[in-house]
Structure 1
Amino acid sequence: MSTDMVRDIGDLGPEPEQRPDLILVVDDDQDIAGFVEFNLKMEGYDVLRAADGEEALRVIQDRRPDLAVVDWMMPGMNGVELTRRLRAEPLTSTLPVIMLTAKSMTADKVVGLRSGVDDYLVKPFDTFELLARVTNTLQRNKEFREVSPLTGLPGNSRVRREIHDRMRAGGEYSVGYIDIDRFKSVNDVYGFDRGDEFITALARCLHKAVTTIGPPSIFLGHIGGDDFVFICAPDQVLPLTKRTVTDFEQAADRLYDPGDAERGYIEVPDRRGNKNKAALVTLSIGVAQATVEGRTFTDPRVVIAVASEMKKVAKSQPGSYVAIDRRRAGGDGDE
Structure 2
Amino acid sequence: MGSRSARPPAPEVEPAGDRPDVILVVDDDEDIARFVEFNLRLHGFEVLHAGDGQEALDMIEQHRPDLAVVDLMMPRIDGLELTRRLRANPITSALPVIMLTAKGMTVDKVHGLSAGADDYLVKPFDTAELVARVSSTLRRNKEFREVSPLTGLPGNSRIRREISDRVRSGVDYAVGYIDIDRFKSVNDRYGFVRGDEFISALARSLHRAVVAIGLPPAFLGHVGGDDFVIVCAPEQIRPLTSRSVVDFEKSADTLYDPTDRERGFVELKDRRGNIRRAALVTLSIGVSLSDARKRFTDPLDAIAVASEMKTVAKSQPGSYVAVDRRRADGV
Amino acid corresponding to residue 18 of structure 2 in structure 1: S
Return the alpha-carbon distance in structure 1 between the equivalents of residues 16 and 41 of structure 2: 25
Is 1:184 the counterpart of 2:109 in the alignment?
no
- Counterpart position of 2:198: 198
Alpha carbons of structure 1 residues 234 and 134: separation in structure 2 relative to 1, 3 Å? same
How far does residue 275 in structure 1 lie from its aligned partner after superposition? Answer: 1.3
Q: Distance in 1 between matches of 2:191 and 2:241?
A: 27
Distance 1:97 1:317, change over 3 A: closer
Alignment map for 1:209-288 (pairs within 5 Å)? 209-288=209-288
1:304 & 1:169 partners in 2: Cα distance? 18
Q: Which runs of 5+ in 2 are unaligned?
A: 1-13, 24-34, 49-64, 68-125
- One-letter amino acid of the structure 2 residue matched with residue 324 of structure 1: V
| Deviation string, structure 1 residues 252-311 (Cα, Å, up to 9, x no partner) | 11111111111111011111111110011000000000112x100111111111000000
Q: CA deviation at 1:137?
A: 2.8
Query: In the alignment, what sits opposite 2:4?
Result: none
Q: Structure 1: how far apart are the matches of 2:185 and 2:195?
A: 9
Secondary structure in structure 1 of the residue aligned to 2:312? helix
3-state SS of 2:18 partner:
coil
Unmatched tracts of structure 1, length 5 or more: 1-88, 99-103, 120-124
User: Which letter maps to 1:329?
Assistant: A
CA–CA separation in structure 2 for the residues paired with 1:324 and 1:186: 27
Deviation at 1:129, TM superposition (A): 5.9
Contact 1:178 1:228 in 2 (8 A): yes
Equivalence for 1:300 = 299
Q: 1:69-108 to 2 correspondence within 5 Å?
A: 92-93=17-18
Distance 1:252 1:127, change over 3 A: closer
By how many angstroms is 1:130 displaced? 6.2
> Counterpart of 2:54?
none
Paired amino acid for 2:246: T
Deviations 1:93-134 (A, max 9, x none): 267699xxxxx7967866854499989xxxxx7876665444
Once the two structures are superposed, residues 56-98 of structure 1 have per-residue CA deviations (whole angstroms, 9 ceiling, x without a partner) of xxxxxxxxxxxxxxxxxxxxxxxxxxxxxxxxx9694267699
Letter in 2 for 1:270: D
In structure 2, the residue matched to 1:322 is 321
CA distance in 1, matches of 2:47, 2:130: 23
TM-score by length of 2: 0.63
Q: Could you tell me how far 1:249 is from its partner in structure 2?
A: 0.8
In structure 2, what is the Cα distance between the partners aligned to 1:225 and 1:275? 26
User: How far has the Cα of 1:233 moved from its partner?
Assistant: 0.6
Q: What's the CA shift for 1:147?
A: 1.1
* Contact 2:164 2:299 (8 Å CA) reproduced: yes
2:74 is the alignment partner of 1:149:
no
Q: Percent identity?
A: 60
- Tell me if the contact between 2:40 and 2:47 (Cα under 8 Å) persists in the aligned partners: no
How many Å separate the matches in 1 of 2:322 and 2:255? 26
SS in 2 for 1:285: strand
How far apart are 1:159 and its partner, in Å?
Answer: 0.3
C-alpha separation in 1, matches of 2:130 and 2:280: 56
Q: 1:106 to 1:211 in 2, by over 3 A?
A: closer
Q: CA RMSD in A?
A: 3.2
* Residue 138 (structure 1) aligned with residue 132 (structure 2): no
CA distance in 2, matches of 1:177, 1:250: 20
Distance 1:152 1:212 in 2: 20
Q: Which amino acid aligns with 2:228?
A: F
SS of residue matched to 2:147 = coil
Say which SS state the counterpart of residue 254 (structure 2) adopts: helix
- AA in 1 matched with 2:201: A
Normalised TM-score (structure 1): 0.63
Secondary structure (helix, strand or coil) at the match of 1:255 reads coil
Higher-RCO chain (CA-CA 8 Å, sequence separation at least 6): 2
* Distance in 2 between residues matched to 1:323 and 1:133, nearest whole Å: 44
Q: Give 1:139's aligned amino acid.
A: R
Cα offset for 1:189?
Answer: 0.6
Q: Secondary structure of 1:147's partner?
A: coil
Contact 1:96–1:141 (8 Å) recurs in 2: no
Cα distance change on mapping 1:107 and 1:222 into 2, 3 Å: closer
Shift of 1:149: 1.2
Name the CA shift for 1:213/1:97 in 2 (closer, same or farther; >3 Å): closer
Distance (Å, rounded) in 2 between the aligned partners of 1:167 and 1:189: 43
The within-5 A match list for 1:160-171 is 160-171=160-171
